[in-house]
Structure 1
Amino acid sequence: MRPSNKFSKTIAATAGLATTAGLAVAAVCATPASAGTQVTPAGDSVTGTLVGNLVVNVGSFQGTCTISSVSGKIPASPSNVSDGAITVPLGTPTVSNCSINAPLENLTVQVSGNWAITGQYGSPINGYLTIPQNGVYASISGLVSCTGNAAPAGAVTLPGIWTNGTDSVNNPSKVSVVNGTVPVAVSGGGLCPGNTGFASVSATYAVKDTTNPSAPVVIGPYDSTPTTTTTPPSCTTTTTAPPTTTTVPPTTTTAPTTTVVPPTTTTSSGGGTGSAGSLPFLGPLFGSLSGGSAPAAAGPMLTGSCTTSTTTVPTTTVPPTTTTIPTTIQTYPTMTRGSLS
């Protein structure tokens, strides 16, 4: 029994999709970026290994591949960060150990060209696998022989979801491609599919850092906003010293004051004018002149007396200057003028 034309189409599409799915691994390197995208560790080599099965569906037929891997390298700094998307170049993926659910048919997949992933950080983190034009060649052999090329009209991008892990050994990061659609061009005999078909691909790949296995491959945000450092204007501090109060000690000025008291004249009278009694010291003189003895003193001898007058000048004190004015009293003797009897 010869396989139907529909079956041939399924084989060709499956081959193309199988390879495409393998390349979807590259999407692992993609990084989403709202404000920006960053893939780390920068410059490290990575591999994507199929987890479970790669499943390709075309109509009612299904192709399954159990082995697939892809390798690449994270761009070195600063190329591992971007304001928008980041492209991670990949080598050529491999897809093998594929089968189809049609009896007596074999499926072979070959991959070629330079593959790449482009990603941007977001929620969820989205990675996009870019398959170059004619990047997958598939053939079926058995009762029917057909060939097919994936992405015959140009590069195709498959969407994927990225999940960051904690390390590259026990919990690596993963990328999942769900129902990625790839166009396929088929050629062959009359039982082969038509000129154009489509296939959907679903697969999950673990992405590991082979340079540093203890580190996970992480797609994270990158803040590309330039940092502006504002230098505050210099401040000048003016220190005002408290007012200084100078206390001048009081000055004592002593001004000598001389008070002149005019002389006081006291006149005393006694006997006759010019008499010897009033001037007893003249008696002997007259006695000697008259040849007789001097008469006895007619009366007491006048005694001169001195009167002392003291004048006190008040002192006025003007704060904070205290002036002490000493008073000097000059005393003149009192002259007593007598009369001769």
Structure 2
Amino acid sequence: MSRTRTALALGMAAAGALSLASVTASAAPLPAAGSTTVTPAGHGFQATLSGKATLKAGSVTVTCNVSVATGTVPAAPGNQNPAGPVSSPISAPTYSSCTSSAWGVTPTVTTSGAWTVSMQHGSPITATMTVPAGGLVVKTTGLASCTVTTAPTAAADVAGAWANGAPPSLTFTNATVPVKVTGGFGCPTSATTSTFNAVYLVTDTTDPAQQITVGP
């Protein structure tokens, strides 16, 4: 693979990295959602990347060392749903200190808009992060100049898993996200998806002695 094509693949990888997966629909009817309660009601929280996020497309790997988002558990009774998930607004996550395995290419990530994360109690506990339309843009400089826009035409739901603990964690595994790539010669304009893996640890910023917990 030429340096230019490798560089461009990076842009696709970084975009998918920073946003995540659309949920695949099942042909069979889905069971009714159970009840969900997120506690403590009204508390703020912060999700911080644990270790590194690895972003991969083909043979190219992008590694991001820093990613943070903040949010708030809804106040009672909004922190409870007898038949479905509980949704919390979050800040547009930030991504920085990103490098790539492709020589001579630097990715820069900007995020914007109203993001949310929804928790559904079950086994496992599932999480869905919603990226607003155009809510994350990756631009590459160096060997290639491309712009990669995630959720290019509509908001995208990204599937993850939540685990209660001290602290609790939010995990995204092999997540995919729709993207649109624009740019000059060699930019992978036919690319429509990319992938992402990361683990976030979640802390209660209102009372650090407590844990954000998802229950029935």
TM over 0.5: yes
Question: 2-side partners of 1:182 and 1:150: how far apart?
Answer: 7
Partner of residue 79, structure 1: 78
Q: Quick check: 1:131 aligned with 2:131?
A: yes
The Cα offsets for residues 71-124 of structure 1, whole Å up to 9 and x where unpaired, read as 000000000000212111111110000011100111111111110012211001
Determine if contact 1:139/1:147 at 8 Å carries over to the other structure: yes
Amino acid at match of 1:4: T
- Within a 5 Å distance, the mapping from 1:174-189 to structure 2 comes to 174-189=169-184
Query: What TM-score does the superposition give when structure 1 sets the normalisation length?
Result: 0.57
Question: 2-side partners of 1:144 and 1:164: how far apart?
Answer: 42
Question: 2-side partners of 1:42 and 1:17: how far apart?
Answer: 32
Instruction: Using the TM superposition, give the Cα deviation of residue 34 of structure 1 relative to its aligned residue in structure 2, in angstroms.
Output: 4.8
Instruction: Using the TM superposition, give the Cα deviation of residue 8 of structure 1 relative to its aligned residue in structure 2, in angstroms.
Output: 3.8
Question: 1-side partners of 2:46 and 2:68: how far apart?
Answer: 7
Instruction: Using the TM superposition, give the Cα deviation of residue 65 of structure 1 relative to its aligned residue in structure 2, in angstroms.
Output: 0.3
- Within a 5 Å distance, the mapping from 1:257-336 to structure 2 comes to none
Instruction: Using the TM superposition, give the Cα deviation of residue 153 of structure 1 relative to its aligned residue in structure 2, in angstroms.
Output: 2.2
Question: 1-side partners of 2:8 and 2:112: how far apart?
Answer: 21
Normalized per residue, the structure richer in strand is 2
Determine if contact 1:8/1:191 at 8 Å carries over to the other structure: no
SS in structure 1 of the partner of residue 3 of structure 2 = coil
Determine if contact 2:35/2:85 at 8 Å carries over to the other structure: yes
The Cα offsets for residues 129-188 of structure 1, whole Å up to 9 and x where unpaired, read as 1111111100111121111101112111111111111xxxxx311111101101211111
69-78 or 110-119: bigger deviation: 110-119
SS in structure 2 of the partner of residue 4 of structure 1 = helix
Question: 2-side partners of 1:146 and 1:3: how far apart?
Answer: 14
Number of residue pairs matched by the alignment: 203
Amino acid at match of 1:200: T
Determine if contact 1:8/1:193 at 8 Å carries over to the other structure: no
Larger Rg: 1
Question: 2-side partners of 1:4 and 1:50: how far apart?
Answer: 30
Relative contact order: is structure 1 or structure 2 higher (C-alpha 8 Å, sep ≥ 6)? Answer: 2
Partner of residue 111, structure 2: 111
Instruction: Using the TM superposition, give the Cα deviation of residue 210 of structure 1 relative to its aligned residue in structure 2, in angstroms.
Output: 0.5
Question: 2-side partners of 1:200 and 1:61: how far apart?
Answer: 12
SS in structure 1 of the partner of residue 10 of structure 2 = helix
Structural RMSD (CA): 1.5
Question: 2-side partners of 1:153 and 1:212: how far apart?
Answer: 39
Partner of residue 211, structure 1: 206
Partner of residue 51, structure 2: 52
